[in-house]
Amino acid sequence: MKLSKKIQAMELSPIRKFVPYADAAVAAGKKVYRLNLGQPDIKTPKAFFDTVKNFDQEVLAYANSQGEASLLEALVGYYKRIGLDFEKKDLLITNGGSEAINMLMTAILDNDDEVIMAEPFYTNYKTFVGQAGGKMVAIPTTADDGYQYAVREKIEGVITDKTRAICIINPGNPTGKVLTHDEMKLIVDIALEHDLYIIADEVYREFTYDGKEMATFGSFKEAEQNVIIVDSVSKRFSACGARIGSIASKNQELMGNLMKLCQARLCCPTLDMLGAAALYNLDPSYFDDIKKEYEYRRNVSVEALKEIEGIKFGVPEGAFYITCQLPIDNAEKFLMFLLQEFDVNGETVMFAPAGGFFSTPGVGQSDIRIAYVLKAEDMRAGINIIKEGIKAYNAR
């Protein structure tokens, strides 16, 4: 039976496709530190579960296609607290940030239209761009240049007459790069000059370190018709399993068209939206401890990684990922070695081989992404296994 060219061109997620091998390692009696997935071990706020458990209607009915009113109102309040004046009409609730990206690509891309994004990029963007018939064009960055992409020449070097949008994950996944206000302004200027959408994925907004202040593309009034903010409760509130994301934009023509897709899939899960409303109503002080904890885990992880001879990486300024280049030939082969042939006292480790985060052929084969979502001692232990594993792998 025939399959579409576009799905055949897609790839399994490098973050998830090795899970069966990790499960096999566990079945074989090994402990596996899972640094591959951005799944925090931080407790989901009780407010979410309380709201879900207090649901007292007898029929679990469809919700509004735009989103539950209580969640839209909570999101308006959340944005107001960070200085953005989005109203309910400027918001759409989505099935995670993932559906937001999927819908946006459908809304702006025709066949062969292009989206530019710093490489390494969060790999699932490529799948959604491909699903819409478009092409992901990379702004190349590497560990050597600190994964810096906010450079006029670099960005304009890949813009063509088919470029429709620049996608920015800030704070960055998978590099932890956090843009300065000047760097954001540069991107805004370029987007205005070239009539591009700015798809600003700010799901890690609160997680910036070293006193770096949180910034948002939503604050650039001059670009409010270009800017689209993607958010999610997954990382922000450690509620990945709720699958509640959102799109915020002042571009009413775009939002009106996106509603066609929202109505076609009817609605997001009702209970999870109610729970997410409780999350967005939490006092902002909630983030203080979380941010401190992630900054501590980052520091511990960076120190541990520095122990690895020949490693290259930029110290992340936000989010909770580190992309590093390891002194090995191939990260996927190395991961399979760790899961199938190696352990330190019965323990091994899993990370995301980052080759799939690059679209430039051959680039990134020795790169990996680790998520510092586990408590400090687990990060230390996992990274030490990578260190010992490299010696054993290269000594074979």
Stretch 267-286 residues interacting with its own copies (CB under 8 A): 267-272
Of 242 and 322, the one with the shorter C-beta distance to its own copies is 242
Residue number with CB closer to its own copies (242 or 354):
242
Q: By CB under 8 A, what part of segment 171-230 binds its own copies?
A: 195, 197, 225-226
Closest to its own copies by CB, 6 vs 31, is: 6
HSE, CB side, 13 Å, CA atoms: give it for residue 286.
18
Q: How many residues does the chain have?
A: 396
Q: Coil, strand, or helix at residue 112? A: coil
The piece of 72-80, 181-189, 231-239, 388-396 that touches its own copies (CB under 8 A) is 231-239
Could you give the string, one character per residue 27-46, with x where binding to its own copies holds by CB under 8 A and - elsewhere? ----------x-xxxxxx--
- Residue number with CB closer to its own copies (261 or 392): 261
Indicate whether 263 belongs to the interface with its own copies (CB under 8 A). Answer: yes
The residue count for binding its own copies (CB under 8 A) is 84
For the chain, where are the alpha helices, taking DSSP H only? 5-9, 19-27, 46-53, 69-81, 96-108, 124-131, 152-156, 181-193, 233-236, 252-264, 270-280, 286-306, 331-340, 376-394
Q: Based on CB atoms, which residue is closest to its own copies, 12 or 28? A: 12
Asked if residue 48 binds its own copies (CB under 8 A), the reply is yes
CB of 186 to its own copies, least distance (A): 20
The candidate with the shortest Cα–Cα distance to 354, out of 112, 116, 138, is 138
The distance of closest approach from Cβ of residue 241 to its own copies in the complex, given in angstroms and rounded to an integer, is 3
**Interacting span for its own copies (CB under 8 A) from 136-144, 148-156, 252-260, 300-308:** 252-260
* CA angle (40 as vertex; 37, 43 as ends), nearest 5: 155
Residues 93-112 that bind its own copies (CB under 8 A): 95-96, 98-99, 102, 106-111
- Closest residue by Cα to residue 120 from 172, 162, 191: 172
In the complex, minimum distance from the CB of residue 326 to its own copies, in angstroms, rounded to a whole number: 24
Q: What are 73-76's contacts with CB under 8 Å, separation 24+?
A: 73/277, 74/276, 74/277, 74/278, 74/279, 74/280, 74/281, 75/231, 75/246, 75/248, 75/280
Which long-range contacts (C-beta less than 8 Å, at least 24 apart) are formed by 284-293?
A: 284/81, 286/45, 286/237, 287/206, 290/42, 290/206, 290/207, 290/238, 291/206, 291/207, 291/208, 291/209, 293/42
Instruction: For its own copies, give the closer residue by CB, 119 or 317.
Output: 119
Tokens representing 285 are: 């002080």
Quote the least distance from Cβ 90 to its own copies, whole Å: 15
161 contributes a contact to its own copies by CB under 8 A? no
String of contacts with its own copies for each residue 52-71, x by CB under 8 A: xx-x--xxxxxxxx------
DSSP state letter for 124: H
State the minimum distance, in angstroms, from the CB of residue 344 to its own copies.
26
User: Of 251, 281, 299, 330, which one interacts with its own copies (CB under 8 A)?
Assistant: 251
Tell me how far apart the terminal alpha carbons of the chain are, to the nearest angstrom.
43
- Of 1 and 395, nearer to its own copies (C-beta) is 1
Question: Restricting to residues 112-131, which ones interact with its own copies according to CB under 8 A?
Answer: 113, 124, 127-128, 131
Who's near 256: CB < 8 A, 6+ residues apart?
Answer: none
Least distance from its own copies to the Cβ atom of residue 259, Å:
6
Query: Given the complex with its own copies, which of 255 and 302 has the nearer CB atom?
Result: 255
Q: What is the DSSP letter of 81?
A: H
* 116: phi then psi, degrees, rounded to nearest 5: -105, 145
Which residue's CB is nearer to its own copies, number 241 or number 310?
241
